[in-house]
Structure 1
Amino acid sequence: MHVPDGFINAPVSAAAGVAAAGAVAAALRGARRELDERTAPLAGLVAAFVFAVQMLNFPVAAGTSGHLLGGALAAILVGPWTGVLCIAVVLLMQGVLFADGGLTALGVNITVMGVVTVVTAYALFRGLVLVLPRTRRSVTVASFAAALVSVPAAAVAFTLLYAIGGTTDVPVGRVLTAMVGVHVLIGIGEAVITTLTVGAVIAVRPDLVYGARGLTAPLRLRVDGALVDAAPAAPAAPAQGSPRKLWIGGVVTALVLAGFVSFYASASPDGLEKVAADQGIDARTEEHAAAGSPLADYGVRDVADARLSGGLAGVVGVGATLAVGTAAFRVVRRRRARAEAEAA
């Protein structure tokens, strides 16, 4: 759902940019409460993983594909404030290095794909976790629902911006119907990916999943051939082991997805591209300012082999996103540590 330059007029794009900058500034402050020495490197990993999975477009209808937005996944794994920053880093790297998502539309994309998805997903996630049994399974169920709803919510947000500042005269009702219809389907894919990823991390390091903190699965004992819940025990202390193995496994997974699996992704236009072409809202699309980038369109210039070109671009993207994200989150963490030291 990367909005290119030319879909939304300059005043509304500028206003969205101001809103996005304010959201990122607030997230920088909020992330200080979410990040510690163990989770700061993992936040960079989440950004790199989202970048990698966004390269894996999956078919959702005839001639249409979708890809992960990642807001729900990031919020549940590392917290909502940090989640906004993760998606902002991904969108910045995609826009600057790969000419994916307009530079003048960067504020629009951060607002729609970062802020709206994170806020919608995490609000629904927390609400469901509060009413469901306090188990790890509840986290995965809530993750599915939150991710599913976050994608059409982003489609609605784009439509609202289009209604205010669209550069074409397509009726808003038609845009809304088309956008929500296709993005509900994409939301199913988003929900599956989010649930599988959150479940995999919970299985190995539940203490590192922000949305699973304080939740434990009840111990079940077999009594006279039947399984019964044991009496609740005192909450177990969070695991204090190094997350290095998880970090290494995540990096390797992201590199494999971006460097190899991405070659087999669907080549069909994504939901927004398809709706834009069908409804005519792409009539004033502008050429990307970074169209001359050596990595534009997720390929390496002068590398003729498509598989090698795309794979190298994916690996570079994962590495760059990981480096920028990790550095940024470490800075946030150090500011928190400095503030705590001054307060003491």
Structure 2
Amino acid sequence: MHVPDGFFNAATSVSAGVVAAAGVAVCLRGARRELDDRTAPMAGLVAAFIFAVQMLNFPVAAGTSGHLLGGALAAILVGPYTGVLCMAVVLLVQGVFFADGGLTALGVNITIMGIVTVLVGWGVFRLVASLARGARGKVVIAAFLAALISVPASALVFTLLFWIGGTAPIEIGAVAAAMGGVHLLIGIGEALITAATVGAVLAVRPDLVYGARGLARPLVLRGAEGESTTVGEPEPVAATRSLKPFLLGGVGVTLVLAGLVSFFASSSPDGLEAVAENEGFIERSSDHLFGGWALADYGDVGGIPVGVAGIIGVGLVLLIAGAVAYAARRRNEIKV
């Protein structure tokens, strides 16, 4: 759902840019409460993983595809403030280096794909997870629902903004129905990816899922004679384990997704493009300022294989998001 240049008038683009800048500034301050010796090293990996998975468009209807947005996933894994920072880095790298999302629309994209998805996803996750306190498996259900709802919510915010400041007249009801419908389907894919990812991390390193901290308790088995045995690793013990194996494994999976699996992504237009074509405002998009760069359209412009472009993008996002996280973290020693 990357918004191109030309969809919004100057006033709306500037206003969204102010909202995005203010949101990122607030999150830079708030992230200090989240970025500890576990979350800070995770932030770069989470951002790079979202970048890689966003390359993997999947079909959702005839001639339409979708891809992960990632706001709910980022919030659950590293916290809502840090999640917004991760999404901002991903969208910045995509817009500047890959011409994916307009430069004048960067504020719009950060607002609807970053801030809205994180706020809605985190709110739904916390509500559902609090009802299942102590049940780690139900955290995955909370993640599924958070991701599912965050995508159509983002699409409807786009529709509202376009109704207010779009460069083409639209029938708000028709566009809202079209955007909400197709992005509900995309949200199912997003929910499956998010639930699978959160479940995998919970199975291996539950202490690295920010949203699950304090929700799950180790199972205590009591014998006939009163003795007790704790099943499952208590969080304080898990937190002392080295992060290096997990981080290296995560980077490896991310590189495989970006470097190999990306070749099999759907080439059909995504939900926003499909709706814009059907509703007659796709022609309002304008050429990207950096559309002639070698990496534009993920290497297609410069004849670079999409897998190579993906690996370059993963490296950029990993370095930038990691640097932001380490700069914003609490000033304590990072143990990896």
Same fold (TM over 0.5): yes
Q: Following the alignment from structure 2 to structure 1, what is the Cα–Cα distance between the partners of residues 264 and 282?
A: 27
Cα separation, 1, equivalents of 2:254 and 2:233: 37
SS in 2 for 1:337: coil
User: Given the two structures, how large is their TM-score scaled by the length of structure 1?
Assistant: 0.91
Q: How many aligned positions are there? A: 328
Are 1:108 and 2:108 an aligned pair?
yes
Say whether residues 1:18 and 2:18 are aligned partners.
Answer: yes
Say whether 1:337 aligns with 2:336. no
Is 2:188 the partner of 1:194?
no
* Cα drift, residue 122 of structure 1: 0.3
Query: Which residue of 2 is the match for residue 65 of structure 1?
Result: 65
Percent identical among aligned pairs is 62
Bigger mean CA deviation after superposition, 287-296 or 133-142? 133-142
- Normalization by structure 2: what TM-score? 0.93
Post-superposition offset of 1:24:
0.1
Shift of residue 324, structure 1, vs aligned partner:
0.7
Distance of aligned partners of 1:238 and 1:289 in 2 relative to their CA distance in 1, 3 Å threshold: farther
Q: Is the 8 A contact 1:168 1:283 kept in 2?
A: no
Preserved contact between residue 207 and residue 235 of structure 2 (Cα < 8 Å): no
Aligned to 2:276: 276
Q: Which residue identity does 1:317 align to in structure 2?
A: G
Give the equivalent residue in structure 1 for 2:309. 313
Q: For residue 213 of structure 2, what is the aligned residue in structure 1?
A: 213
Q: Note the 1:1-344 alignment, pairs <5 A.
A: 1-216=1-216, 219=219, 221=221, 236-239=235-238, 240-299=240-299, 302-303=302-303, 309-333=305-329, 336-337=330-331
Structure 1 position 219, deviation (Å): 2.3
- Contact 1:135-1:218 at 8 Å conserved across structures: no
The Cα offsets for residues 114-156 of structure 1, whole Å up to 9 and x where unpaired, read as 0000000101111111112422112101000000000000011
C-alpha distance in 2 between matches for 1:80 and 1:175: 29
The CA distance in 1 between the partners of 2:157 and 2:258, in whole Å, is 28
Query: Deviation digits for residues 222-270 of structure 1, max 9, x if unmatched?
Result: 989xxxx999999652411111111111111111101110100111000
Deviations 1:26-54 (A, max 9, x none): 00000001001332121010000000000
Q: For 1:337, give the aligned amino acid.
A: R
Q: Say if 1:235 and 1:255 are closer, same or farther in 2 by CA, change over 3 A.
A: closer
The offset of 1:220, in angstroms, is 6.8
Q: Please identify, of 58-67 and 214-223, the stretch whose mean Cα deviation from structure 2 is larger.
A: 214-223
CA RMSD, Structure 1 to Structure 2 (Å): 2.1
CA shift, 1:283, in A, is 2.3
- How far apart in 1 are the matches of 2:232 and 2:307? 49
The DSSP-based 3-state class of the residue aligned with 1:59 is: strand
Runs of 4+, deviation exceeding 4 Å: 220-224, 229-236
Q: CA deviation at 1:221?
A: 5.0
Q: Distance in 2 between matches of 1:183 and 1:135?
A: 30
Contact 1:70 1:87 in 2 (8 A): yes
Distance 1:233 1:172, change over 3 A: closer
Q: Is the 8 A contact 1:135 1:215 kept in 2?
A: yes
SS at 1:249 equivalent = helix
Unaligned stretches of 5+ residues in structure 1: 339-344
